[in-house]
A and B are shown apart, each in its own frame.
Chain A
Amino acid sequence: MTNYHFPDQHGLFDQYGGRFVPETLVYALDQLTKAYRIIKKDRSFQRELAILLRDYAGRPTPLYHAKRLSQKVGGAQIYFKREDLCHTGAHKINNAVGQGLLTVRLGKKRIVAETGAGQHGVAAATAARLFGLSCDVYMGAEDVKRQALNVYKMKLLGASVIPVHSGSRTLKDATNEAIRDWVTHVDDTHYMIGSVVGPHPYPALVRDFQSVIGKELKIQMKKQLKKLPKALIACVGGGSNAMGFFYPLLSAKIKMYGVEAAGQGIQTKYHAATLGKGSVGILHGMRSYLLQNKEGQVLEAHSISAGLDYPSVGPEHALLKDLKRVTYTSVTDQEAVRAFHELTRTEGIMPALETAHAVAFAMKLVKRMNRKDSVVICLSGRGDKDIDTIRKFS
C-alpha cells in the first residue's frame, strides 16, 4: 500500500466516490473542496483544531489493554482504542469539531446534519454551541423512537431535531432530507455530514478529521505494545470510525477487519451488510456499494444498531474491499448484543451497539490467535444510548 493516494483530483477512489448531485450543490462542493485543500495545509487551522481536540474533546483517547476480556476469551490480547471516552461519548466529535471550525472559516452561520444513532447529531449540536452556529438535525422517525436519549440531548443543546417520515424512516432518509435542506439553504448553510459518505470532498474530509484516531494509535502502539498488533477491527456503517482508525496505518503490516451489521442474518432480507451483499450503485452523491433490488431501487437496511442501519457505505471502503486491503465481515444483532453484555460484565465498559459488532467479531478472531499477539478494536462509542434497546432485546 505504498502508492495509495486516494481520492484523485476528481474525488474518485478508483471507480468509487465522485459527485452525483443536483447541479445546485456543485458550487458549494467546489467551495468546500477549495477550503478543505487550504485548511489541510494551514498551520493555524490545524493548531486550533488540535487544541480543541485536546481541551474540549478530551484527546488523546487511551489505548487500553483489556486483560480480563482477553483472558476470558482466550487467545490474542485485546486492546481498545477508547473513543467512547471522547466528549459526547463517541468518535463523532472529532469530525464535528473539525467541520465546525471549517464552517466558521466558510463564513456560514448554520449547519444541518443527518443522524442515525444520534451520536453524530449530538456531536453536531455540541459543535454548533462551541462555534455559535444554529443547528438542525434530520433524524428518521424510527430512530427518533429508538434513540430517545440522544434526541433529548440534542434538544438540550439547542438544536432542532426534525423527524423524517419518508422511506424507511432511518438514516438513509434523514440523509435525503438533510441534502434537500442544504440544496434550499446552500448560501448560508454548511452540511455537516457525519460519516465518510456523500459527494466529494466529504469522504476524504471526514476521513482526515477522523484520522486522529489512527495517528494516536500509531504512537501509542510503539509505547505500549512490544510489537505491531496483528489486526485492527472496527465496525462499519458509513464507516467513519473505521476509516479514521485504518487510514494512517494502511501501509503497516497489520490485518484490518471492517465489521458490518448482519441484522437477522445475511441470508435474510433484514441486514445492513452493504459490502458483503450489495452491488455497485449510486446514492447520496457517491458511487459505492449499495443494497438495491433488481430495478435499481434502494433497499432498506436492517440492524439493531441505528448507526449501522445504512444501505450504502463510504466509497473508500468499497475500494479497500476491492484491493483486499481490508477484510469485511458481518455480525448479527444477537451476536452484537451478546458481545455488549460480555464486555460490560468482564471489563465494566458498556459499548455502543455499533461498536459491539466489532467486539463480537474480535472475540471470534482472537480465539484462533497466539496469546503473545494482540489486536486493537476501535471502541467507537459508549452504550448509554442503547440501554432501552438492550433491555427490550433480552
Chain B
Amino acid sequence: MNALEKKIMQQHKQKKKIVCAFLTLGYPTLQATEKLIIEFDKLGVDVIEVGFPFSDPLADGPTIQASSDYALARHVKFQDAVRLGKRLRQKKCQIPLIFFSYFNPIHHHGVLPTARLLKQAGFDGVIIPDLPPDESKMYEKIFRKQKMSLVYLIAPTTTPLRSRWIAQKSKPFIYYVSLRGVTGARKQLDSRLAEQVRSLKRLTRKPVLVGFGISTEAHVKQVSRFADGIIVGSAIIKHLSKGQNRLKRTVLFMKRLLKAARTS
C-alpha cells in the first residue's frame, strides 16, 4: 500500500471527509505551486492533484484551460513535476501527490519511464481524464508495478454495469464527475447528484470523491452529506488568477472549504 492509499483508507475508516486540492503545475509560477502545496499540507488537505498543463485539455473549462496555457507559455515541462515532488519531500512535506495529466504527454515520454520518474519523485497516483479503463488495459500493469494508483472517473452517464467495473479498477478512490460537462466553478450543483452518488455507493465500498464544479463552502457541505470527499480545482485556480495577495487569499479560501468539509 502506498502513502496515498494509506491516507485515503485511514480517513475513510475514521469517517472523515477526504479533501483533495487541484493545482495547475506552474500556475502562476512553479514556486507558487510548491508554496501552496506546503501551505495546503499544513492546513490539513489530504491529497494534492498536480495538474500537468496540456495544449488541448478536452475535459477542462475556461479557468483551467487558461491556467494551462499560462503555464505552457512559461515553458513548464514534465521535469518540473519531478523536481517539484523531490523538493517537497526534501522539505519534509509528505502530503500524498497525484499526477493529473492528459494521456498524450505521458504516452509521448513513455508510460513506464513516466511512471518510474513520478514514483521516484514522490507521486503515488495518476489521474488521466482521457484514458478510460477500456484503453488502459495494457498500461495498468506498469502503474501497478511502480506502486502507482490509477484513479478512474465515473460520470453521470456511466451505466451501472460499467460503474461497477470501473469501481473495481479504480484505486484508492473513485472520482465521481458531478455533472455532464467540463471542469469549472458553478453556481449550483446538479440536483440529481445526491441520488447518483448514493446509487454508486451501493455498488462499491471504495470511497467516492466528487469533483467538477465544487466551488463554495455550501457545495462542500452539501456534497459531504452523501460523498466521502471532494475534489476542488477551478475554484482554487480562480482565486489564484487575480488580485493582490492571491496566494494568501487562496490559502484562506482552502481553509474555509476544509472547515466546511470537516464540520459536516
CB distance from B111 to the nearest CB of A (A): 12
Chain B residues near A378 (CB-CB < 8 A): none
With A281-B104, A281-B107 as known contacts, state yes or no: A167 contacts B55, CB within 8 Å.
yes
Contact of A281 among B61, B72, B108, B162 (CB under 8 A): B108
B180 with A186: CB separation less than 8 A: yes
Interface: B157 (CB within 8 A):
yes
The yes or no answer to B9 lying at the interface (CB within 8 A) is no
Shortest Cβ gap from B198 to chain A (Å): 19
List residues of chain A with CB within 8 A of the CB of B156: 24
What is the total of A-B residue contacts with beta carbons within 8 Å? 114
B58, A180: Cβ atoms under 8 Å? yes
Residues of chain A within 8 A (CB-CB) of B152 are 23
Q: What is the distance, in angstroms, from B58's C-beta to the closest C-beta of chain A?
A: 6
Within the complex, which residue of A20, A28, A172, A176 is in contact with B157, where a contact is CB–CB below 8 Å?
A28
The interface residues of chain A lying within 8 Å CB-to-CB of B61 are 180
CA distance A10 to B59 in the complex (A): 22
Q: Is B177 an interface residue (CB 8 A)?
A: yes
**A296 adjacent to B177 (CB under 8 Å):** no
Instruction: Answer whether A176 and B109 are a contact pair too, CB < 8 Å, given A27-B157, A187-B180.
Output: no
Task: Name the prevailing secondary structure of the A interface residues.
Answer: mixed
> Does A185 interact with chain B (Cβ within 8 Å)?
yes
Does more than half of chain B's interface fall in helix, strand or loop, or is it mixed? loop
A297 to B106 Cα, complex, angstroms: 10
Task: Tell me whether A290 is interfacial, beta carbon within 8 Å.
Answer: yes
Interface residues on B, range: 35 or more
Q: Are B180 and A297 in contact (CB under 8 A)?
A: no
Closest to B108 in A: A296
- Docked Cα-Cα span, A28 to B182, in Å, equals 16
Q: Which single member of A20, A173, A180 contacts B130 (CB below 8 Å)?
A: A20
Pick the contact of B104: A18, A180, A184, A283 (CB < 8 A). Answer: A283
Contacts of A25 in B (CB 8 A): 157
Contact B154 A23 (CB under 8 A): yes
Asked whether A166 lies within 8 Å of B65 as measured between CB atoms, the reply is: yes
What residues on B are CB-neighbors of A7 within 8 Å? none
Q: B134 contacts the other chain (Cβ, under 8 Å)? A: yes
Asked if A157 is at the interface (CB within 8 A of a chain B CB), the reply is no
- For B77, B154, B182, the residue with the greatest tally of chain A CB atoms inside 10 Å of its CB is B182
Give the nearest-CB partner of A180 in chain B.
B182
Contact present for A298 and B55 (CB under 8 Å): yes
Residue of A nearest to B61 (CB): A180
**Given the complex, which residues of B lie within 8 Å of A22, measured CB to CB?**
58-59, 129-130, 132, 153, 155, 177
Besides A180-B181, A183-B182, 18 other A-B contacts (C-beta < 8 A): A19-B134, A20-B103, A20-B130, A22-B59, A22-B129, A22-B153, A24-B177, A167-B56, A179-B58, A183-B181, A282-B102, A284-B56, A287-B107, A292-B108, A296-B105, A296-B107, A297-B54, A298-B56
Q: Which 8 A-B pairs have the closest CB atoms?
A: A296-B108, A296-B105, A184-B181, A24-B155, A27-B157, A297-B55, A23-B155, A298-B55
A-B residue pairs in contact (CB < 8 Å), sample of 13: A20-B130, A22-B59, A22-B155, A22-B177, A23-B132, A24-B156, A25-B157, A26-B158, A27-B162, A172-B56, A183-B59, A296-B106, A298-B56
